[in-house]
Chain A
Amino acid sequence: MQTYKAPLRDMRFVLHELHGGAPNLPAELTDSILDAAAKLATDVLAPLNMSGDVAGCRLENGVVRTPAGFREAYAIFRDGGWTASSCDPRFGGQGLPESLGKLVEEMICSANLSFGMYPGLSFGAYRAIAQHGSAALQDRYLAKLVDGTWAGTMCLTEPQCGTDLGLLRTRAVPQPDGSHRITGNKIFISAGEHDLTENIIHLVLARLPDAPAGIKGISLFLVPKFLPDADGSPGVRNGMVCTAIEHKMGIRASATCQLSFDAATGFLVGMPHKGMTAMFTMMNSARLAVGIQGLGIAEASYQGAVAYARERLAGRALGGAQCPDLPADPIIVHPDVRRMLLTMRAYTEGCRALGGWVAQRIDAGDEEFAALMTPIVKALFSDLGYETASLGMQVYGGHGYIRDHGMEQYVRDARIAMIYEGTNGVQAMDLVGRKLPAHAGRLLRGFFHPVSSYIAAQAEHPQLGAMAAALGRAFGALQLATAQIAAKGMADPEEAGAAATDYLRLFGLVALGFVWLRSAEVALAKLPAADGDAGFYQAKLTTARFYMERILPQTAGLFAAIKAGKGSMMELPAAAF
């Protein structure tokens, strides 16, 4: 059995105490929203997580059936206005700021990642139309995407291409009435077909007849499953079918579809051949969302692991029995189990705090910071989500590997976040290849400046000084690594490519160190008057110390690997592998 309770105390800490609240929303209101989302996640979504995983989706005559209970849960989700939560009020949305919206997303992902895919993809489609669609397309499609009557998809991937979309083949032929006929095969399309909504709005990348070759010749089209009538009801069935759904490792209740488009009617979104530009403006939001998936799974797995570690009896504490009246001590007494639990906790709370910082900067309109941090949030959170889920399984021993407790599902579900929305390798390339050099390093300074001045400010602090010093060393390694990549990578792009993944992790660990130091500072200040909350702040301080002493030193190893350069990596001829 999985048990999940929304970590509302820590969420309020991140939102209010660490980052100063959500813009223009009083604390009582944000708390009510978090409470309501928590209730939905725990009462409606979480109970369907394991049953949905076992049942999976079924394809019957071109129709995909979601697992039992999903339709009812979606109706509650939709009627509660949650599909509209982050949408613009101009289009009927609730306009929640990111700093609140990301916490709501996290709860949905913890409770039921598969379920969250459906509204998540709709939001991507909403964004594309809201930012790049004509007024006519917006009028016709947005209201129903926002209120959840219709769902959406993002159709990029084809059998021959995922990362390299320049290889894309789907064709779009202009028609006299201004529409287009779309023909081609898409694979791996999440929510490509399902029974949750009366219509599905596909956003499809395709090539116009006069398109230049490669990535510069791709356009974006809106292709509805049913072409809406003038009154807005879903009308004639459009020319696409779901030919298969994938059988896969995790998120088994999320339908991953092969879609075959055969002269389907589509409408151009944005300018011809500018499809990738349109995609990129949404990419930030989608990639951050995938990072949050990693965080959500990490939290759920951590909760499961803690509950088990308190109950499971095995061995005696090394320092002498702690529960002599029991046949053995609970495993939470063992240093190695504590290593696992604290690592999980430090990653989870650290990612929540870092995600909160990024969200807060986005709310403040700081797009450059968002651009810099997006690949880090996507790759770091999804990597750590998977590592955390794996630790959670380890805490359960053999009982983690079998299905009953649901711990192995977290491992399987977490794994995809490292792959889709641009693999984590591609995120690392984005960081070193695009974000570092951008504007002569200006994006980078948006992170380096606040971090270095904060470390300096805490250096003499009686309680925090040691942690600040540890962070200072890691930050120094990050600066040196950055300088090396800038110097060597300019001359030889393979050097940058060879360093990318280690560099992203190094960057991410420093960023986590920064939010942990800030968390420690806040906790320390609150502790004297904390009353019933003292335990919460004390745990923050201890976890911060664990992070600085036991995790952050990994940065030294990463730095050494980066410094060694590409040599050993590129030497071996491909035939020798």
Chain B
Amino acid sequence: MKVLVPVKRVVDYNVKVRVRSDGTGVETAGVKMSMNPFDEIAVEEAIRLKEKGVVSEIIAVSLGVAACAETIRTALAMGADRGILVETDAELQPLAVAKLLRALAEREQPRLMILGKQAIDDDMNATGQMLAALLGWSQGTFASKITIDGDTATVTREVDGGLETVALTMPAIITTDLRLNEPRYASLPNIMKARKKPIETVRPADLGVDPAPRLKTLRVVEPPKRQAGAKVASVAELVAKLRTEAKVI
């Protein structure tokens, strides 16, 4: 069984993100970029399925600028078998990504696609769901456990009230939550070997997709600064302040 795993290049989770002075977005020049952590979990899960003998080939896909090839390399170093880069300098929004992935799915015919539930840059949480709808496949989002048995994928989902378990008929889309697994550290030999694994580059036009944005960003602003705290002398004073100043009780 083939599995396709999209991996997004995002600002590294350790970086303190700054809004560009003109308010058009966040500063990415000279900023460390890494694979979206939820996508790392997706790659790890695919590798574990391969190690169990359920999956035969893992294809890592990234969409965006040429540097996304490095994100694919990271996936290859973890254990993916080959990569596809959909190269474009255009801003990519979830619907465009979902359409591009659908085109790749039709070409590659995977039985399973594992995606991160969201990307830590825009927190959209939309691509997996859109993709499932476009393809007409089953979907299991926010997965914290995945078992595959023949044509059925059993997915434990993290929902507000607790855990929900669903059985999906393959082909299926699964999106990962944080607790699904702990991604491995790429080993040095695998980083070296990853250089020899193939990455194919295609453009949106080759896939017959127009990736033009459908949403317009009006303005990006920093969240309001937190006010400095104050020390109170007694519980009584705390209660008084909560009542009169904070007005929360």
Contact = CB atoms under 8 A, between A and B. Distances in A.
Interface stretch (A33-41, A372-380, A490-498): A33-41
A80 B186 CA distance: 7
Contacts of B14: 5
B185 A94 contact: no
Nearest to B195: A29
Contact of B77 (A36, A79, A96, A533): A36
B109 interface: no
Nearest to A530: B30
B185 A80 contact: yes
Interface string B1-45: 000000000000010000000000001011110100000000000
Interface string B133-168: 000000000000000000000000000000000000
A32 interface: yes
A94 B74 CA distance: 18
B207 to A, nearest CB: 25
B187 A533 contact: no
Nearest to A44: B185
B54 interface: no
Nearest to A36: B186
Interface in B182-209: 185-192, 194-195
Given A80-B186, A80-B188, 15 more contacts: A8-B32, A26-B195, A28-B73, A29-B191, A29-B192, A32-B73, A32-B194, A35-B34, A80-B185, A85-B188, A94-B188, A94-B189, A96-B188, A532-B29, A536-B30
Contacts of B74: 32
Contacts of B185: 36, 39-40, 43-44, 76, 80
A89 to B, nearest CB: 10
A32 B77 contact: yes
B70 interface: yes
A286 to B, nearest CB: 22
Nearest to B30: A532
A44 B14 CA distance: 15
Nearest to A37: B188
A26 B195 CA distance: 10
A503 interface: no
Category for how many chain B residues contact A: 20 to 34
Interface in A8-38: 8, 26, 28-29, 31-33, 35-36
A520 interface: no
Given A5-B14, A536-B30, A28 B70 contact: yes
Contacts of A79: 187
A227 interface: no
A8 B74 CA distance: 17
A39 B187 CA distance: 11
Chain A, interface SS category: helix
A153 to B, nearest CB: 24
A164 to B, nearest CB: 40
B187 A80 contact: yes
Contact of B188 (A39, A43, A44, A81): A81
21 contacts: A5-B14, A28-B69, A31-B70, A32-B73, A32-B74, A32-B186, A32-B191, A33-B191, A35-B34, A36-B186, A43-B185, A76-B185, A80-B186, A80-B187, A81-B188, A81-B189, A84-B189, A85-B188, A94-B192, A532-B29, A536-B30
Nearest to A76: B185
Nearest to A82: B188
A29 B194 CA distance: 9
Nearest to B12: A35
B29 A531 contact: yes
Nearest to A39: B185
A538 to B, nearest CB: 13
A35 B77 CA distance: 12
A324 to B, nearest CB: 15
Interface string B114-135: 0000000000000000000000
Given A28-B73, A36-B77, A84 B188 contact: yes
Contact of A533 (B30, B188, B189): B30
Contacts of B188: 33, 36, 80-82, 84-85, 94, 96
Contacts of B190: 81
A114 to B, nearest CB: 20
Contacts of A531: 29-30
A79 B184 CA distance: 10
Contacts of A8: 32
Contacts of B189: 81, 84, 94
Contacts of A33: 188, 191
Interface in A57-101: 76, 79-82, 84-85, 94, 96
Nearest to A534: B30
Contacts of A81: 187-190
A34 to B, nearest CB: 10
Nearest to A78: B187
B190 to A, nearest CB: 8
Nearest to A80: B187
Contacts of A32: 70, 73-74, 77, 186, 191, 194
B31 to A, nearest CB: 8
Interface in B50-92: 69-70, 73-74, 77
Contacts of B73: 28, 32
Nearest to B14: A5
